[in-house]
Amino acid sequence: MKISEIPLFHGISSLELNEMKNLGCIRQHTLEKNTTIFHMGETISEMGVVLSGSVIIENIDLWGKRSILSHIPEGHVFAETYAMCGEPLMVSAVTAEDSEILFFNLKLLLNSPGASSPFPKAFNQNSPEASHGQNAGQPTIVRNLLRISMQKNLTLSNRIFCTTPKTIRERLLIYLSNQSIKAASTSFTIPFNRQGLADYLNLDRSALSKELGKMRDDGILEFHKNHFILHKTDE
């Protein structure tokens, strides 16, 4: 994916993107699968953007239990809150597959002097370009980041809905129903394997697999690996 196609950089010109690179605000790295990008406990100054591949946000407790909090696909950002707040990471970011990651230092960019900013449209509130329209005075890239953060809050809320029910079946039904709505189809592919799905729903893998088998026998769904087909029932 091209940098200009990423939602975070919508409305930013190629000239501005080049200036960001020249200032050292942007760097890219190709990483192999299962590479830890950010470690739990460290303090970071850069957020990550997935140019290709995908990233898992996970937490591993003192006893080694792993919980997956979210799956970050191509074009999406991660760790932006920690990069801006300077708080130690409570999670780790790990590549789910071979990935191309862009690291973006927004603090470095925003702390540059406004009068000499090379990004009048994107960052300078007093620029002529920023004086028109209903969003006048709002830095473009910050506005993009705010929109992205709101969308991520919805994603985290969905996970809470999925992990709140007490039974395994209820958690699976909510998660798979949400995925079906997202795909606008009863036939869809999820971003997790069995272990990943178990970690996301805070379930034991064997118990999850057993329940999926029961749901298939009950005619609720069909599945092959991480592809699912849901069937409506009379219940």
Q: What percent of the chain is helix, strand and coil (3-state, nearest 5)? A: 40, 20, 35
Give the per-residue pLDDT at 23: 85
- Ordered domains of the chain (ranges, CATH): 3-151 (2.60.120.10), 166-230 (1.10.10.10)
Residue reference for tokens 């026998």: 217
pLDDT at 86: 87
Residue 115: pLDDT band with limits 50, 70, 90 = very low
Q: How many DSSP H helices and E strands does the chain contain?
A: 8, 11
111: confidence class by pLDDT, cuts 50, 70, 90: confident
Residue (of 131, 155, 23, 18) closest to 77 by Cα position: 155
Q: What is the pLDDT of residue 121?
A: 52
Lowest mean pLDDT among 47-51, 84-88, 97-101, 129-133: 129-133
Residue 131 pLDDT: 42
* Least confident segment among 91-100, 137-146, 194-203, 212-221: 137-146
- Write the CB contacts of 20 (distance below 8 Å, at least 6 apart in sequence): 26, 104, 109, 119
Q: d(Cα 88, Cα 82) in Å, to the nearest integer?
A: 7
Q: CA of 31: how far to CAs of 36, 55, 184, 203, in Å?
A: 9, 11, 32, 29
Q: pLDDT: is 16 or 222 the higher one? A: 222
Q: What is the DSSP string of 65-78?
A: -EEEEEEE-TT-EE
Residue 53 near residue 97, CB atoms below 8 Å = yes
Is residue 65 predicted with pLDDT exceeding 60? yes
Q: Are 50 and 75 in contact (CB under 8 A)?
A: yes
Q: Which two tokens stand for residue 126?
A: 């007093």
CB contact burial 77-113 (16+ within 10 A = b; e otherwise): bbbbebbbeeeebebbbbbbeebbbbbbbbeebbebe
Instruction: Report, as an integer, the average pLDDT of 83-98.
Output: 95
What is the rounded CA–CA span in Å between residue 25 and residue 148?
A: 19
Task: Share the mean pLDDT of the chain.
Answer: 87
pLDDT band at 165 (very low <50, low <70, confident <90, very high): very high
More confident residue, 21 or 90: 90
Query: How confident is the model over 20-54, as pLDDT tens digits?
Result: 888 889 999 999 999 999 999 999 999 999 999 99
What six digits make up the tokens of 96? 């789910």
Instruction: Give the phi and the psi of residue 159 in degrees, each rounded to 5.
Output: -65, -40
Check if the beta carbon of residue 129 is closer than 8 Å to that of residue 121: yes
Report which of residues 95 and 135 the model is more confident about: 95
Model pTM above 0.85: no
Q: Is the pLDDT of residue 11 over 80?
A: yes
Q: How far apart are CA 182 and CA 120, in angstroms?
A: 37
* Predicted confidence (pLDDT) per residue in 182-215, tens digit: 999 999 999 999 999 999 999 999 999 999 999 9
